[in-house]
Amino acid sequence: MSDKSHVGMGIHRCPVCLEKTDEVLLFNTKLRNTLERENFVGFKMCEEHNKKLYEEEYVALIETSSPVAPTSLTDKYRTGNYALIKENVYNDLFNVPISKNRICFVQVGILQDLQKIPVASADDPTLVGDLNDCGDEEWVEIVD
């Protein structure tokens, strides 16, 4: 017997932390058993990341081990690590414009380099704080 049903939950996830942010009831109108218990239907930013990215002007750096630059938020090579950095710091570090969704995939190693910056928040090591105090010579190390 199949685990699928003609009803199931549609799950939205935060594109940054991948937590469930919304659920909707899905119903196959032809009563075909096509639905899993939980079905990913799209991305919807969680409250915390919506506030950080759109009100506090952070950019989310999402780590991926993908061999090529991901073209979709559904990148299957996500490592689960991410960091938030201020927009002005992003612009100093990267020569790629900020995307409309304020999310940027980075290769493994970039987040570790960012965490070497001494002003990273002690409360949340994944949250890099205001990096304005760093000298220019430190930027060069980070970009490498």
User: What minimum distance in Å lies between the beta carbon of 103 and Zn ion?
Assistant: 11
84/110 with CB nearer Zn ion? 84
Report the nearest approach of Zn ion to the CB of residue 60 (Å). Answer: 9
CA distance 23 to 3: 20
Total of residues contacting Zn ion (CB under 5 A): 5
The least CB distance from residue 110 to Zn ion, in Å, is 19
H-helix or E-strand spanning residue 91: helix 87-93
Q: How many CB atoms lie within 10 A of CB 37?
A: 11
Site residues (CB under 5 A) for Zn ion, limited to 2-61: 14, 16-17, 46, 49
Query: Residue 38 or 141: which CB sits closer to Zn ion?
Result: 38
Of residues 35 and 128, the one with the C-beta less far from Zn ion: 128
- The CA–CA distances, whole Å, from 64 to 16, 46, 105 equal 12, 20, 6
Q: How far is the CB of 18 from Zn ion (least distance, A)?
A: 7
Supply φ then ψ for residue 129, to 5 degrees: -80, -155
| Closer residue to Zn ion in complex, CB, 14/114 | 14
Which position has the token pair 């799209």? 42
Q: What whole-number distance in Å separates Cα of residue 120 and Cα of residue 111?
A: 11
Please give the residue ranges that form the binding site for Zn ion (CB under 5 A): 14, 16-17, 46, 49
